[in-house]
Amino acid sequence: MTQTNETSTKKTVHVAVGIVLQGSKVFLTKRAEDVHLGGKWEFPGGKVEQGETVEQALHRELIEEIGIEVKDSSKFLHIEHDYPKVNVHLDFIRVDDFEGTPTGCEGQLSKWFDIGELSTVDFPEANKAVVEKLLAL
């Protein structure tokens, strides 16, 4: 009898995530109710496509998702998290300068939050370390 590793059958998704900052505020979007982790607030971003760097994916996703063009960014945190049906590799990038006004371009709710109130926001489990690091700034 051969044992299989449960994680080997799970899909792995690599995601570029933007921590869009303006002073003491951070821009968040809310996931649609009918998707994985629906109804939770998140930092905007999306999947890294084959052949893309994390930075290229972040630039593309933030233009598509919230309508901004990244001007200055830096690596913030890398997290790997196992959900029951998917493994996620999240590269969080701090966005300190951008062009445009962030808004939910795909119909999603969006809002500026004060960094100090992030501990009260309903985030996916994988974002907890990011929130802790931001609260420590």
Region of 87 (left: φ > 0; alpha: ψ -120 to 50; beta: rest) is beta
- Where would I find the beta strands (DSSP E) of the chain? 11-22, 25-30, 41-42, 45-47, 69-82, 86-99, 110-114
pTM: 0.90
What pLDDT score was predicted for residue 8? 57
Output the tens digit of pLDDT for each of the chain's 137 residues.
434 344 457 899 999 999 999 999 999 999 988 877 789 999 999 999 999 999 999 999 999 999 999 999 999 999 999 988 899 999 999 999 999 999 999 999 999 999 999 999 999 988 999 999 999 98
Structural domains for the chain: 13-135 (3.90.79.10)
